[in-house]
Amino acid sequence: MQDDCIAVALGLPQLKILGQKEMESRFEVVVIYRRGEARCPWCGRVTTKEHDRRQQCKQDRRLRDKTVLLTLIKRRFRCLFCSKVFTEPDEVFGRRRRSSHRFREYLGQEALHQTVRRTAQKEAVGEGLVRRCVAEEIGKRLEAKGVKETPEFIGLDEFSVRGRRLYHTAICNLVEGEVMEVVEGQGQRRVEEYLDKLPQPERVKGVAMDMHEPFRQAVQMCLPQAKIVADKFHLIRHINSALDKVRSRLQGGSRKGKRKDLFKNRYILLKGAERLAHWEKERLNQLFYRYPELKGAWVLKESFRAWYRETDRSKAEEMLGLLEEKIASDSLYEFKEFLHTFTNWRGEILNYFEYRIINGFVEGKNNRIKTIKRMAYGYRNMDNFRMRILATNPGYEGRVSHLLT
């Protein structure tokens, strides 16, 4: 008998330990279920008649940094009433499973905070098992969270799955800051299919999106009472791009040309006027003295930023008309395309002054999605990718880290 060891509880009261052996890298334990009878699944009678026994090797959670291998003596019973032979229930491991429930749950939780490969190497199991455990864990969390009521404000935005060849759409709850669903593609049909399934569609007051026509058509079809809000930062980004095109045209397209000052100060031009340092203002004044056309483009950019600070919709609509007249009468052709945008999306742009919602959360979630995809070097199974994205929502027991792979 060994005199240099202590007894440690296995933590599985359903099993009776018949033998154990400690080796250098693992524990080998022989176990059997404590019950001496089983209920026949065919006739429902209880029987104690054993037909035969078989051994199955199972894996459990580590103990003292050693792998625990359980040799289960699994019995088959013969019913004395209907003469059917059946295998006893296996509640610790599950039917046809080679690992315990608690071990699979542990693998799923661990792999949510580190890579699948690292978890598999640490626990000496296959990567396929870890992936299945992660899918089970995420599924249980999503099921436990249940179906929430439809939010008042929703955000829509697409994200790239495989370069520019394949896109998916994230539908987000802007009130609680979480992803509601991820649908395939960036078209109208799949978005409509999801919006049609909302339990209380009449609760939705506003939907924020970039100026993507299929999204607008889907919302108008499924949520006619909701007001579509064109994303503020999406429009400002296009305005900044127009200013940068003016700067590039004046520069001549070459970094090494005579107009290096334009290239060196390109980021200062895009910076908000209220955030400029004193020396940056002096540089801009020098540029505007040399390039009056650049000054006109910069003033237009700042006018749009100031316009978004307006609090009244009627005044905002009046100011927008003045800005349109300014663009139409100016010689800056880089801004002319906005006249067409304001014609097609005028109502959606002005809806911002009623519901000041933006797609900032959705854009931030898209960056998180890119991190998930990059850490895993891409996903071939879109169902797994979708579950990984949904698992980043707050509110779960134990936050999911950004190392989802």
- Of 63, 80, 99, the last residue of a domain is 99
What was the pLDDT predicted at 4? 66
Residues 257, 339 within the same domain: yes
DSSP state of 244: H
Residue 218 phi, psi dihedral angles, 5° rounding: -65, -45
User: Which pLDDT value is given to residue 163?
Assistant: 67
Whether residue 188 sits in one domain with residue 222:
yes
Q: Is the pLDDT of residue 399 over 70?
A: no
User: In this structure, what CATH number is given to the domain that contains residue 158?
Assistant: 3.30.420.10
Cα separation, 38 vs 46, whole angstroms:
6
Residue whose token pair is 């600070």:
309
Residues 217 and 253 placed together within one structural domain of the fold: no
β-bridge partners, 168: 159, 184
Query: In whole angstroms, what is the distance from residue 114 CA to residue 106 CA?
Result: 13
Q: How confident is the model at residue 251 (pLDDT cuts 50, 70, 90)?
A: confident
CA distance 211 to 199: 26
Q: Inform me whether the pLDDT recorded for 254 exceeds 60.
A: no
Rounded to whole angstroms, the Cα distance separating 10 from 68 reads 10
Is residue 86 situated within a structural domain? yes
Print burial letters for 262-274: b (CB count within 10 Å at least 16), e (below 16).
Answer: beebeebbbeeee
Q: Which of 381, 375, 297 is nearest to 112 (CA)?
A: 375
Which pLDDT tens digit goes with each residue over 190-218?
899 999 989 889 999 999 999 999 999 99
Residue 30 has pLDDT above 70, yes or no: yes
Q: How far apart are CA 55 and CA 334, in angstroms?
A: 77
Confidence band for 397, pLDDT divided at 50, 70 and 90: very low
Most confident of 81-85, 175-179, 375-379: 81-85
Kindly state the average pLDDT of the residues 24-46.
92
Q: Residue 392 pLDDT > 70, yes or no?
A: yes
Tell me how far apart the alpha carbons of residues 307 and 325 are, in angstroms, rounded to a whole number.
Answer: 15
Digit-coded pLDDT (tens) for 311-363? 899 999 999 999 999 999 988 999 998 999 999 999 999 999 999 999 888 88
The rounded distance, in Å, linking the Cα atoms of 244 and 242 is 5
First-to-last alpha carbon distance for the chain, in angstroms, is 47
Please tell me the least confidently modeled range out of 44-53, 98-107, 364-373: 364-373
Parallel, antiparallel or unpaired: strands 46-47 and 38-39: antiparallel
260 and 345, same domain (yes or no): yes
* Residue at 320 is within a domain: yes
Task: Please give the DSSP secondary-structure letter assigned to residue 3.
Answer: S
Out of 37-51, 99-113, 262-276, 380-394, least confident range: 380-394
Provide the pLDDT for residue 34.
93
Final residue of a structural domain among 99, 126, 144: 99
Pairing mode of beta strands 85-87, 66-78: antiparallel
- Indicate if 33 and 62 belong to the same structural domain: yes
Q: Which domain holds residue 248?
A: 236-353
Residue 196 within any structural domain of the chain: yes
Strand duo 153-162 + 50-63: pairing:
unpaired
Number of separate domains in the chain? 3
Q: What pLDDT shows up at residue 348? A: 94
What is the pLDDT at residue 389?
83
pLDDT tens-place string over residues 283-306? 999 999 999 999 999 999 999 999
| pLDDT at residue 299, as a whole number | 94
Q: Is residue 171 part of a domain?
A: yes
Ramachandran angles phi, psi of 213, nearest 5°: -60, -45
- Average pLDDT, integer, range 96-117: 88
- 362 and 349 housed in the same domain: no
Q: Which residue has the tokens 């999106």?
A: 209
Mean pLDDT estimate for the chain: 87
pLDDT of 109 reads: 87
Residue 141 domain-assigned?
no
For tokens 């006893």, name the residue.
Answer: 88
**336: Cβ contacts below 8 Å, ≥ 6 apart:** 327, 328
Concatenate the DSSP letters of all residues of 160-182 into one string: EEETTTEEEEEEEETTTTEEEEE
Verify that 253 and 315 share a domain, yes or no: yes
Q: Pinpoint the alpha helices (H) of 376-404.
A: 382-390
Is the same domain home to 189 and 328?
no
CA distance 294 to 292: 5
Mark whether 275 and 364 lie in a shared domain: no
- Looking at the fold, whether 330 and 195 belong to one and the same domain comes out as no
CB 40 within 8 A of CB 79: yes
- Report H helices in 308-381: 313-329, 337-344, 346-350, 360-375
Q: Is residue 128 assigned to a domain?
A: no
Q: Is residue 386 part of a domain?
A: yes
Structural element, H or E, at residue 129: helix 127-145
Residues 198 and 248 in one domain: no
Q: pLDDT at residue 189 above 80? A: yes
Given this model, what pLDDT does residue 400 score?
39
Would 121 be classed as within a structural domain? Answer: no
Q: 373 and 308: one domain? A: no
Q: What is the pLDDT of residues 140-182, one digit of tens each?
A: 877 766 667 889 999 999 888 776 678 889 999 998 888 888 8
Name the token pair of 215.
Answer: 């999204």
- What is the pLDDT, as a whole number, of residue 63? 87
